[in-house]
């Protein structure tokens, strides 16, 4: 029974390893037409293909996209930080997406994958939302989110310092940082 369980565990580990490799290395067939998609994991490739298909259904005039700052205000772009149908249409008409833009978009996934969406800092809020019923609870939740973000930044900073300057200097700098935080929170 233990041998059988061990065999199953080995198979599951192998399946997980293979899925991890396929996540980054496999491609959908549309990559032949759009080679830039090969920079992304398969789920992102599918998202981008759907947006490219939606681009053909746009009846509105294309929004002007600054070639130096390729951004859009639509929900897809704000949600995924990837080119949307509006950017694709602008690219089709005005050629705004350069290899550097594609490299920037793909770079987001190289280190962290989909974890990058956990730390996105842009916040979009409806007007008057903090005056409605339940606003105190939303503010409390917002405060908790900020504190959690702050806590994770603390650990990232400490980890980065340990790699760069060693434990003694890290301890000194972190204590200095904490002292400045204590001072700033005094009435």
Model confidence, pTM: 0.51
- The closest alpha carbon to 30, from 20, 21, 40, 22, belongs to 40
* % residues pLDDT > 90 (the chain): 2
Q: What is the mean pLDDT of residues 172-182?
A: 85
- Please indicate, yes or no, if residue 8 is contained in any of the structural domains: no
Nearest CA-CA partner of 113 in 19, 13, 15, 23: 23
Return the percent helix, strand and coil in the chain, to nearest 5: 70, 0, 30
Q: Look at residue 147 and tell me if it is in a domain.
A: yes
Q: What is the pLDDT of residues 103-126, one digit of tens each?
A: 888 877 665 566 555 554 444 444
Give which of 47, 42, 38 is closest to 81, Cα–Cα.
47
Domain containing residue 136 = 129-184
Does any domain span residue 124? no
Same domain, 91 and 161: no
Split into its structural domains, the chain has a count of 2
**In the 8-state DSSP scheme, what is residue 74?**
S
In the prediction, which pLDDT does 126 show?
A: 46
Which two structure tokens, joined as six digits, stand for 169? 């200097």
Residue 121, in any domain of the structure: no
Same domain, 26 and 77: yes
Task: Tell me, yes or no, whether 6 lies in a domain.
Answer: no
Query: Would you say 81 and 104 are in contact if contact means Cβ atoms under 8 Å apart?
Result: no
C-alpha distance from residue 142 to each of 119, 174, 187 (Å): 14, 25, 21
- Note whether residue 136 is domain-resident: yes
Domain C-terminal end among 87, 113, 139: 113
């Amino acid at each position: 029974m233990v041998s059988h369980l061990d065999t199953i565990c080995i198979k599951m580990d192998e399946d997980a390893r293979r899925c991890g490799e396929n996540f980054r290395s496999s491609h959908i067939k549309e990559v032949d037409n759009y080679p830039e998609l090969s920079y992304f994991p398969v789920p992102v490739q599918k998202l981008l293909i759907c947006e490219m298909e939606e681009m053909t259904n746009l009846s509105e005039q294309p929004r002007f996209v600054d070639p130096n700052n390729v951004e859009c205000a639509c929900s897809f772009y704000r949600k995924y930080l990837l080119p949307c149908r509006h950017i694709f249409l602008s690219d089709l008409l005005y050629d705004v997406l350069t290899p550097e833009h594609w490299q920037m978009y793909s770079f987001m996934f190289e280190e962290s994958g989909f974890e990058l969406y956990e730390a996105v800092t842009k916040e979009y809020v409806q007007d008057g939302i903090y005056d409605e019923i339940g606003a105190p609870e939303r503010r409390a939740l917002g405060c908790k989110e900020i504190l959690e973000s702050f806590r994770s930044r603390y650990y990232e900073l400490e980890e980065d310092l340990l790699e760069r300057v060693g434990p003694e200097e890290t301890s000194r700098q972190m204590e200095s940082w904490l002292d400045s935080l204590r001072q700033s929170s005094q009435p």
